[in-house]
Amino acid sequence: MNRDIILLRAVEVAALATHKYIGKKDKNLIDQAAVEALEVILKNEKDFRLKVVNGEGELDEAPMLYVGQILGDLQNPDAKIYDMSVDPVEGTYPAAYNFAGSVAAIAISRENTQLQLPEMYMEKLFVSDEFRDLINLNKGIVEVVKDMQIFSGRRDLKCIILDKPRHNNIIEKLSEMGVIVRMIQDGDVLAAIDVVNGEADFVYGIGGAPEGVLMAALSIASGCKMQSKLVHYKTIWENEKETELRSQIENAWLEKHNIDENTILDDLDLISDPRARFFAAGITAGGSLKPIDYKNGKFYVNAFMASHGIARNIKSVYDIKKVNALKPGIKSIFDKYKR
């Protein structure tokens, strides 16, 4: 079967598996369901393998797809290997509490093309294809937005930004400039999908670094553009008990890769493959990607994929009885995680 269809199905079934626990206020149960679904879908596929470069859960002991794990055709040493960054539930908190902001997401590229990032923060600017030649984080976000306004002849650009105290000043400045600011609680990967789908002009803010690789894949695959800079944990959480240990880990990584907090990382610095692919499926979703739904034995899921400058929004219906009969490998997931 076509590899892209398999990966699309993987994120869709990961989303379906979480449905049982949406709103149950347990992030780990949601994550565990999605992880198991991804493993079930991918473990029996033939002719390709996926190496996890950026996984999830290392710090909080959540169920995880760990860095270095291999999924796919493990019995075939000649099966082609791809790098994979994965977040089975990007936005576990909104999924656990049933508000907008969660998706299942995968990014793949050729082997040894993805940068493995530490669990630190990252300043990210993701712009639509209209503004891809104007992006320049060295100038700062305000000057870049001014350039975008002049180029487009519009003051009322649409921005999506995480509603966090660290962004209060920039939210105020952008609003004063005439920018329409849409604030979200979680989910900058989901917000970037909205930019690709024309719901916003850009996403800006400081969020998780590993998620930046997913956004970079989306940027490359869709023809948009992204730049980023790593941000130390202590910059955001100066007095937390884990700050010192986190800083030691971050500094070791930065020294190893000859990168510092002033280094501008282009999307192709994070994934050096112009043929990178991106896949996502809505859980509680939001914006242009709708949340998962269930009715009368059928799951309704909205998914998204991008590659080679083509973005596809896909509505799928999973009839449980029919799927169980035709795809017994998936039946175990439906049986275990039925609502």
C-alpha pair distances (Å), 285 with each of 151, 164, 300, 338: 32, 19, 13, 20
For tokens 């369901």, name the residue.
Answer: 33
For CA atoms 165, 166, 169, 171, give the dihedral sign.
Answer: negative
- Give the start-to-end residue ranges of the domains of the chain: 3-114+274-336, 121-270
Q: Given this model, what pLDDT does residue 167 score?
A: 96
pTM of the model: 0.94
Check if 3-114+274-336 and 121-270 are the same fold.
no
Burial of 153 (0-12, 13-18, 19+ CB in 10 A): exposed
> H helices of 19-138, where?
27-43, 92-97
Length of the chain: 339
Cα of first residue to Cα of last residue in the chain, in angstroms, is: 29
Q: What is the pLDDT of residues 144-168, one digit of tens each?
A: 999 999 999 999 999 999 999 999 9
User: 121-270: which CATH number, 3.40.190.90, 1.10.760.10, 3.30.565.10, 3.40.50.620?
Assistant: 3.40.190.90
Query: In this predicted model, what pLDDT tens digit does every residue of 95-147 receive, in sequence order?
Result: 999 999 999 999 999 999 999 998 899 999 999 999 999 999 999 999 999 99
Instruction: Supply the pLDDT for residue 334.
Output: 84
pLDDT for position 61: 46
DSSP-assigned letter for residue 261: T
Q: Using CA atoms, how far apart are residues 36 and 89, in angstroms rounded to an integer?
A: 12
What pLDDT sits at residue 335?
Answer: 86
Structure tokens at 32: 């565990």
Taking the C-alpha atoms of residue 204 and residue 222, their distance in angstroms, rounded to an integer, is 18
The answer to whether 11 touches 303, Cβ cutoff 8 Å, is: yes
Question: d(Cα 162, Cα 169) in Å, to the nearest integer?
Answer: 12
Given a contact cutoff of 8 angstroms between Cβ atoms, the answer to whether 125 and 202 are in contact is yes
In which residue ranges of the chain is pLDDT below 70? 1, 56-63, 339
Per the DSSP assignment, residues forming a β-bridge with 158 are 180
C-beta separation of 279 from 289 below 8 A: no
Q: Does CATH number 3.30.540.10 belong to domain 3-114+274-336?
A: yes
